[in-house]
Chains A and B, each alone.
Chain A
Amino acid sequence: MTATDVDPAARARDVIGVSTLDDAALRRYLHGLPGVDEVGADARAAGLATRSIKTTAKAWALDLAIRVIDLTTLEGADTHGAIRNLCAKARRPDPTDPTCPSVAAVCVYNDLVPVAVEALKGSGVKVAAVATAFPSGRASMAVKLADTADAVNAGADEIDMVIDRGAFLAGRYLEVYEQIVAIREACAHGRPEGGAAHLKVILETGELGTYDNVRRAAWLAMLAGGDVVKTSTGKISPAATLPVTLILLEAVRDWWTATGAVVGVKPAGGIRTAKDAVRHLVLVNETAGPDWLDPDRFRIGASSLLNDVLLQRRRMAIGAYAGPDHLTPAL
């Protein structure tokens, strides 16, 4: 699904069943979605976390975990050299093992997009840029659009935008919706290779307060045409948790049932161990279903996770843990 295939406004009006989208219509619709019982959602996520993934299943899951990673660095101290190192690791996470897959994407701030594009040329690894005054999103729409255009013009394949949580919590749903639509439009133009950049919508679930709000924000992002719903910036705690990922997976599953359109899910922040990653994959498998076990539909935003997965992967191959000195540094 790319940004140019559908007119999100027409589809949103159709899904909601109104002729004009406004705050009232969006509120009625989003608040009419089935609620999320917090105790029950936590219990379901905890139950799935007890799945015991061993031997062949574990080997398969570890490789998939690598293939869905958006290898991320979002630090003020990032340099061109650090980005080039990260890109080399993204291409060949384990230089000693040619069977080790590449990660899905490298995720950086948008001024570093040209460096990443250059370093990843021909690798198939995508370049994602955080835009729209990441992480707070507190800037005028003109700045957010310019920010996005910058990244797209520099060749970013994917844009990770943040929603305006202030507007969302104040009930100004139309404003949030329109911003997403506008950024989506900006993703569709100016890309050197043509086509539209893929739009991930960061809900920053740690600031939304309730699971009901997480579900509503996810539906709002899907109504506005987001290609992926993403939990967090990684700058706010809590970031990705199993129950929040569960709720997003339920949302994309129900959206697919309602519209036939595929939306991806990306938990980001706080997933540091292979065990955590495999638990998320179990959640995907048993919630949205096996079709979502694919980098086109599911990503994990992470940095230190990759080395833990590589450590476990090597242990499965050689039967013992390699020392940390046998891995390339996380950055």
Chain B
Amino acid sequence: MIGQQDIPVRFDVREVPLAGYQVTILELAGQLDAHTAPEFERFLETRVRDERKAKLILDFHNLEYISSAGLGVLMGLIEEVRSQGGDMKLAALPEKIFHVLDLLGFPVVFQIYPTVLEAAVAFH
């Protein structure tokens, strides 16, 4: 059986508002793998370059899956964000996704919060 190329790999990223906080919240949804990571990288690069001193919060609560390709995107951009005086915090990670990040030692490099609100408060 030859694999069906038209089976969609669903991944979405969108900005959501949070009243009272000057932060940019990006909500990730679906599956972040080698197929969808380039789309995520393009989106994130644009946000980082358009927004100096970006205060980014990545909301993982709707993310179902992440592989090293998706994690590589975060690693590739965090230094650029910080060099501009901004930061990128991660929030609301499902347990299985936190487990993958934890295996690789990401909690040493990225600040990870249980909720988006706690990440927003940490920026102030």
Do A and B truly interact? no
